[in-house]
Structure 1
Amino acid sequence: MTTIKDIATKLGISTSTVSKGINGASDISEQMRQLVLDTALEMGYIPKSMKDISRRKICILIENMSYENIDQFGYEIIEGFKRAASKKHMDVTIIPTNLSMKSSRRYDSFMLKNSYSGAFFLGLTLHDDYMAQLIQTRVPTVLLDNQIAGNPNVAYIGTENQEGIDAAVSHLAELGHKKIAFLNGTEHSMVTEERQNAFTSCMESHGLIPDENLIRYGCFLPDCAKDHVPGFLEHGATAVMCASDLIASGVINEAARLGYRVPEDISVIGFDDLPIAQYLSPPLTTIRQDRTALGQSALLVLDSLINDLSISKLLLRPKFIVRGSTGPCKAK
C-alpha cells in the first residue's frame, strides 16, 4: 500500500511537504500541492481519514438544481441521502458547483485533498467537464440520471422512465387522446433523451403516431411553456405530457392565457409529483418519483462502492397519480 514516504521518495521531496500537500497546508505553493496530489493519485494513495469508517466524509456536488425548500426538486433527495448517511455515521457536505470551478481542479485531486470517500452528483449534464473526468475516476461516485459506462467506481440511480411514461400515454389513450404533445426538459441530458425515446416508443405501442411538430425540448422551468404551447395548439394537440411538474404548471398557465381550459380543452400531465402538483388549478396528474427514496438509494449505492461492491445502476419504480388536469378528449 502506498505511503507518504513512497510519494516523497518518488518526487524527491520531504515527507512533511507531501503531508502538507495532501492536507491542504497554506505554506507550500499551489503548483507543489497539485504535483503532490497528482502523484498520490497515480500511486493509489488513500489517506487514513478516508479509510476510517468511524469518521468517513462524503459530499454532494450539485449544479443547476434547486434544493433549498420542500417545493424544489432536490430538497427531498438530499434529505433522504443525509438521513441514510446519518445512520451510517457519515458526514455529508453539500458543495454547489459550476463549470468554472470544475475546470480549475481535477475531481480526484479535490476529493483526495478534502479526504472525501465518495460523492453523489446532482444536476450535472453529460457534456460537463467533470463527466469526462468520471470515465477514469478512482473515487466511488453516484450519479442521478446520468451514466458512465465501463467504470466500476461510478454508478447511476434514477427512476424507470419507460414504465411511468407508458402509464401516462395509456391513460390519455383511454381518454380518447391521439394528438399528444411532449414538452421535454433541457437538451443534451441523458434523462431527457430517455424520456423522449420512451414517449415515442410508448405512443407507437398504443397505436398512436408521434408527431414531430408536437415534440420539443424546453427547460425544466415553467417559462418554457410560452415558447411551445401555442405551436402545440396550432397543430391540434389535445394533451401535453411534460418532463417535469414545473413545466406542466407553465403549460396550464399558458393554456389559460390563450383561453383554453384544463382539462376540458386540453389535458396536461407532469413528471415528479412535487408538493405543488396537488395545489395547482386544476390539481396535476403526474408521474411520481419518490425523491426521498432516490436519496436513500444513492447513499446505499455509494456505501456499496466505497466497500468495493461494484453496482452499475439502481432504478426505482414510478407511480402514476391521476388528478384533475386530465379528462376525455374534446370532440372536434
Structure 2
Amino acid sequence: MVTIKDIANKLGVSISTVSKGLNGADDISEEMRQMVLDTAVEMGYAPKRGKKPGKRRVCILIENLEYENIDQFGYEIVLGFKLSAVRHHCEVSVIPTNLNLLTREKYDCFMLKNGFSGAFLLGFALHDDYIQQLNKTNVATVLLDNYNPNPFVGYVGTDGYHGIDMAIKHLHDYGHKKIALLNGSKNCMVTNDRRLAFLQAMERYSLKADPKLIANGYYVADCAKDYVSTFLNHGATAIMCASDLIASGVLYELKRLGVRVPRDVSVVGFDDLPIARRLSPSLTTIRQDRLSLGKSAFMMLEELINGINISKVLLKPELIVRDSTGPNPKL
C-alpha cells in the first residue's frame, strides 16, 4: 500500500509537505499541491479507510439528470442517499458536473483534492470520461444503472428485465400482439438493457418483435413526435416506453393525432414519477423505488469504503396498472 512517505520520496520533498498537499493546507503553493495530488493518484495512493463517524465526506456527482424537485427522476434518489448519510454522521456534497469540470481534472485527483472518501455518480453515459477513468480508480464509487468490473466500483439499480417482463405480460394478457418500444438514448447501459429485456419478454410470450416498432429516442417527452406516427402506420396497438417522460410525450402525440388511449392504443411507462398519476389518462407504469435506490447506494458506498467489494444491488420493480392500458381493439 502506498504511503505518504512513498510519495515524499518520489517527489524528493518532506512528509509534511505531502501531508499539507493532500489535506488542502494553504501554506504551500498551488503548484506543489497539484504535484502532490497528481503523484498520489499516479502511485495509487488511497486515504486510510474507516474514518471516525462525523469525519467522512462523500459526494454525489450528477450529470444530465434533473433532481431539484419531487417531480424529477433524481429527487428521491438524492433524498434517500442523504437520509442514510445523516444516520451514519456522513457529510454529503451534491455536485452538478459539466464537460468543463470533467475534462479539467481527473476523477481520482478531484476526489483526493476535496477530501471525499467516495462518490455516487448519477446520469453519466457510457462514453463519459469519468466513467472510463473508473477502470483504474481506487476510490469507492457507486454508479446508478451502470456497471464497471473494478472492485472499487459498485452498481445499484432496478431489475429492468423483470419490470419489462411484467409490462409485456400485462399487454399480452390484454391480447396485444403488435407492441412497440420507444427507448431512451443509445449511449446508456440501461437503454441497452431495456431493449434486450423487451426482446426477451416478447419471445417469452410468443410475440414477434418487429424492428419497425423499435426506436431509440431520448429520455424526454419531445422525442415522441418523431416515432409515434411510424408505430401507428405499422400497426402498433400498444407502446412500451423506457420512461414516464417519454410516455407523457407519447400520450400527447396520440391525442394530437386523434388516437384514443387506451381504446385504440395502450401505453406503458417506466419509473412511476409523480406525473404518471396526473396524466390523462393516468399512466400504467413500472415503479422504481427511487428513495430505496438512494438508500441502497449509500449502504453500498459505505461497504466499498470499508473494503467490502460489492458488485451489484438490484431492487425489484412493481407494475402499477392505471388507465392507459386496455384490451387490443383489433380482437
The match for 1:35 is 35
Counterparts of 1:96-115 in structure 2, within 5 Å, are 96-115=96-115
Counterpart-to-counterpart distance in 2, 1:114 and 1:11: 21
* Equivalent position SS for 2:59: strand
Is 133-142 or 94-103 further displaced after alignment?
94-103
Offset, 1:14: 3.6
The match for 2:191 is 192
What whole-Å deviation, never above 9, does each CA across 1:67-106 have from its counterpart, x for those lacking one?
A: 0000000000000000011111110000101222111111
The match for 2:263 is 264
**Preserved contact between residue 50 and residue 115 of structure 1 (Cα < 8 Å):** no
The match for 1:128 is 128
* Equivalent position SS for 1:51: coil
Letter of the aligned partner of 1:103 in structure 2? T
* Equivalent position SS for 1:188: coil
Q: Does 1:51 align with 2:51?
A: yes
Offset, 1:26: 5.5
Offset, 1:50: 7.4
Counterparts of 1:250-261 in structure 2, within 5 Å, are 250-261=249-260
The match for 2:221 is 222
**Preserved contact between residue 156 and residue 297 of structure 2 (Cα < 8 Å):** yes
Q: Does 1:69 align with 2:69?
A: yes
Offset, 1:9: 2.6
Letter of the aligned partner of 1:126 in structure 2? L
Counterpart-to-counterpart distance in 2, 1:247 and 1:51: 43
Counterpart-to-counterpart distance in 1, 2:32 and 2:237: 63
RMSD: 1.7
The match for 1:175 is 174
Counterpart-to-counterpart distance in 2, 1:296 and 1:47: 24
Change (3 A) 1:268 1:47: same
The match for 1:275 is 274
* Unpaired segments ≥5 residues, structure 1: none
* Equivalent position SS for 2:124: coil
* Equivalent position SS for 2:185: coil
**Preserved contact between residue 300 and residue 310 of structure 2 (Cα < 8 Å):** yes
Letter of the aligned partner of 1:87 in structure 2? R
* Equivalent position SS for 1:246: helix
Counterpart-to-counterpart distance in 2, 1:263 and 1:174: 14
For normalisation by structure 2, the TM-score amounts to 0.95
* Unpaired segments ≥5 residues, structure 2: none
The match for 1:305 is 304
Is 99-108 or 265-274 further displaced after alignment?
99-108
Is 13-22 or 210-219 further displaced after alignment?
13-22
Offset, 1:48: 6.4
The match for 1:141 is 141
**Preserved contact between residue 238 and residue 267 of structure 1 (Cα < 8 Å):** yes
Counterpart-to-counterpart distance in 1, 2:172 and 2:180: 13
Offset, 1:19: 3.4
Offset, 1:22: 1.9
**Preserved contact between residue 153 and residue 311 of structure 2 (Cα < 8 Å):** yes
What whole-Å deviation, never above 9, does each CA across 1:240-262 have from its counterpart, x for those lacking one?
A: 00000010000000000011011
Letter of the aligned partner of 2:90 in structure 1? M
Counterpart-to-counterpart distance in 2, 1:309 and 1:42: 23
**Preserved contact between residue 49 and residue 115 of structure 1 (Cα < 8 Å):** no
The match for 2:237 is 238
**Preserved contact between residue 60 and residue 92 of structure 1 (Cα < 8 Å):** yes
Aligned residues: percent identity?
62
Letter of the aligned partner of 2:162 in structure 1? E
Counterpart-to-counterpart distance in 1, 2:129 and 2:50: 25
For normalisation by structure 1, the TM-score amounts to 0.95
The match for 1:328 is 327
Counterpart-to-counterpart distance in 2, 1:228 and 1:44: 48
Offset, 1:45: 3.7
Counterpart-to-counterpart distance in 2, 1:116 and 1:94: 12
Counterpart-to-counterpart distance in 2, 1:161 and 1:138: 29
